[in-house]
Structure formats: structure tokens, C-alpha cells
Amino acid sequence: MTESFISKKPIPVRERLIMALDVPSIPEAQALVEELGDSVIFYKVGMELFMSGDYFGFIEWLKAQNKKVFVDLKFFDISATVGRAIKALSSKGVDLATIHGNDAIMEAAAANKGDLKVLAVTALTSLDRGDLDDLGFKCDIRDLVLSRAKRALEIGCDGIVSSGLEVAMLRKELDHRLLVITPGIRPVDNRVDDDQKRVVSVEQAFQNGADYIVVGRPIRDAENRQAMAEKIQGQVLSQFQSNS
């Protein structure tokens, strides 16, 4: 039997599913949130929505709907700029935010985060071995992810974003001290036209030790979005019930 690293953190089970609002406009995002109703509590808002209009007004709207918000803008700039950006974002009522980059960037973010939880990106789930070679990273993906996770923990970040393929390794090496958010979740077979390469199922992600999963297309593109969200919520619940 494969070793289980199921999360013991006191996170409400229905908040462990984060829906990625990867749609072109704020009105479309609002309509999707309203359509999903109580089936989703936590939402990720990224660069596509950032470029589409009133991003921060939309965040305020989400908070008014009693939703939690994950700002996925992967802040990457000189450390002072990232620090000021994180400090400004911390006043918006946001729950999670991503940063990218070196130790100085992580240090600046950690020093300015307030109640905001800062997540360091390890290696994007859209990248495979060939992509990392193209970018000049000759090390093993697992070594890269572990190195970045160790530095994030030492510097004071709250967590990381990591493929579910590496989470079990992280739990063995670092226990449960970091929050781990896992994107690239596919509750059904991965499609040929999908740009996510390093994917796992809901069950794999949580058994490997993820605290949260991020799901976008499988819900957004479903014929019945609310039913798909509830199906995934059921899959999440089953993991924690079976390990309680």
C-alpha cells in the first residue's frame, strides 16, 4: 500500500478545492461564481482576469459573497518592488498570493505579507523535463522543487505551489510545515489539447499530502458545472473521511 501523507491541517474540507477562474472577463467570472453557488468557496484569480478590467473590484465582490481569494499573479521583480506589491495586496482581504524568484524576492514578500499567506512557486505544472532544459535548468525536477521548498520554508513563506507528483517527497523531507497548493488536477483523463503536463488525480494529490487543489478546466468546461464541482467536492471529502 502506498504511504499516505494526508493533510492534518485544520482546513474546512470544502475549502480545500480552489476553482481557477480562467475566463476572459469579469462579468463571465461573476456569472460562473453565481452559477457554482455554494459548491465552491475558494477561487483563484490570475493574470487573464487581471488584464480584463476591475480586478480589485472583483476581489471585493468575491469577499462580499463570503468567498476566499487566491491571487495568482506570480510576482517577480526586484525585491523592493515585490515587497511593496505584497504589502499593498495584504490590505485587500486576499487569503493567498503567489510569488516567484530568488531568496531576496521571497524575503521581501515574507517581510511584508501581514495576514496574507505567501506561496512560492516551485516548477510550473505546465513544464516538463524538456521545457526545463530549454530554460537552462539541468537539474532533476524533484531536486529543483525540493530546493525551492526548503528555501521558502527557511525564509518565512507560508507555502508553495507544487505539482502533486512531488508532494509526497516534500512531505517526507519537510513534514507538513508548509502549505502545499497543487494545480494540474484532472479528475478525468487528460485531454490531448491540455497544456498541463505534470498532472495528478484528486485522490493522488491529497494522498501525497496536498493541502489544497486547484481545478479549472474540468469544472469550467463541464456540461453541468455545479454538478462537476460537487463531484470533486465529494472526491475530496472521501479522502478525509477515509483517513479520519
The enclosing H or E element of 119 equals strand 117-121
pLDDT band at 200 (very low <50, low <70, confident <90, very high): confident
**Contact call for residues 220 and 22 (beta carbons, < 8 A):** yes
* Residue-level pLDDT at 141: 72
pLDDT band at 122 (very low <50, low <70, confident <90, very high): confident
Read out DSSP for 206-224? HHHT-SEEEE-HHHHTSSS
pLDDT band at 193 (very low <50, low <70, confident <90, very high): very low
Which residues lie below 8 Å from residue 180, measured CB to CB, with a gap of 6+? 159, 160, 161, 162, 167, 170, 171, 209, 210, 211, 212
**Contact call for residues 38 and 241 (beta carbons, < 8 A):** no
Dump pLDDT digits (tens) for 214-243.
Answer: 999 999 999 999 999 999 999 999 999 976
Mean pLDDT score across all residues of the chain: 89
pLDDT band at 28 (very low <50, low <70, confident <90, very high): very high
* Residue 124 cell numbers, joined: 510550473
Dump pLDDT digits (tens) for 72-97.
Answer: 999 999 999 999 999 999 999 999 99
Per-residue pLDDT at 194 exceeds 50: no
Nearest of 235, 191, 164, 243 to residue 17 by alpha carbon? 235
pLDDT band at 125 (very low <50, low <70, confident <90, very high): very low
Dump pLDDT digits (tens) for 42-59.
Answer: 999 999 999 998 999 999
* Residue-level pLDDT at 121: 87
Residues acting as catalytic residues: 74
Q: How far apart, in whole angstroms, are the C-alpha atoms of residue 167 and residue 217?
A: 22
| Torsion over CA: 219, 220, 222, 226 (sign) | positive
* Helix axis angle, 103-112 to 79-89, nearest 10°: 30
Domains, in order of start, for the chain: 13-241 (3.20.20.70)
Percentage of the chain exceeding pLDDT 90: 75
Dump pLDDT digits (tens) for 135-174.
Answer: 555 557 778 888 889 999 999 999 999 888 889 999 999 9
Hey, what long-range contacts does 143-146 have (CB within 8 A, 24 or more apart)? 145/169, 145/170, 146/170, 146/173
pLDDT band at 101 (very low <50, low <70, confident <90, very high): confident
Read out DSSP for 13-42? GGGSEEEE---SSHHHHHHHHHHHGGG--E
pTM above 0.85, yes or no: yes
